[in-house]
Copies of this chain bind each other. A is one copy, B any other.
Amino acid sequence: MGAVTTDADDERVERLPKQDRSRATRQRLLEAAVACLAERGWAGSTVSVVAERAGVSRGAAQHHFPTREDLFTAAVEYVAEERSTAIRELFPQGTAAADRPAVISALVDLYTGPLFRAALHLWVAASNEEQLRPRVTELEARVGRETHRIAVELLAADESRPGVRETVQGLLDMARGLGLANLLTDDTGRRDRVIAQWSEILDREIRG
């Protein structure tokens, strides 16, 4: 996740032109923000804590992200985009029907790492905080649409066939639920068996 910065990172950043340096600082803040949210929750996540973790001054952090809400919603969005790119790169040739179990595993993986944990803290905080709620709602909708698009594409699902859209949506709901089941305990063993079974079912359903 790149949240731990080293002296070597700092040196590399210092050698970059100003614009690139600013972009590198921004990325470090975003990655530190997601790690912080995942580990400490919303209550323990402030701009100061993230700035310190990223090795960036508080002033510089506030230059990039004027408010706490700005920082953490941008962080979840940034890491979600990174993950979207990464999952597409796993299947550079697109996918054949034979890859469906691998695609389903990769989709579920989106919901079991630090990004999901961070997003979950943000969603739950937003459910009680009026200041956060509209921004997180909009972010969730945007990330959700993009994940659905990736799923349809990689599963080679034909959404013009009745029911296929809802089948894919349900799969992503299941992935989200599996992520939640992994929050307090390592649920890997059970999850793998559920994925294996549902990969077979969904393959039949999507193949039609």
Seen from chain A, the residues whose Cβ lies within 8 Å of a Cβ on chain B are 39-41, 43-44, 117, 120-121, 123-128, 133, 136-137, 140-141, 144, 163, 166-167, 169-170, 172-181, 183-185, 190, 193-194, 196-198, 200-201, 205
A205 near B201 with CB under 8 A, answer: yes
Copies in the complex: 2
B194 near A137 with CB under 8 A, answer: no
Distance between Cα atoms of A145 and B111 in the complex (Å):
22
Partner of A180, one of B170, B177, B185: B177
B128 near A163 with CB under 8 A, answer: no
18 residue pairs from A and B, CB less than 8 Å apart: A39-B128, A41-B128, A44-B128, A123-B180, A123-B183, A123-B184, A144-B181, A166-B194, A166-B196, A167-B197, A169-B190, A170-B174, A172-B177, A173-B177, A175-B177, A177-B179, A201-B201, A201-B205
Nearest-Cβ distance from residue A25 to partner chain B, whole angstroms: 27
Question: Closest residue to A179 on the B side, CB-wise?
Answer: B177
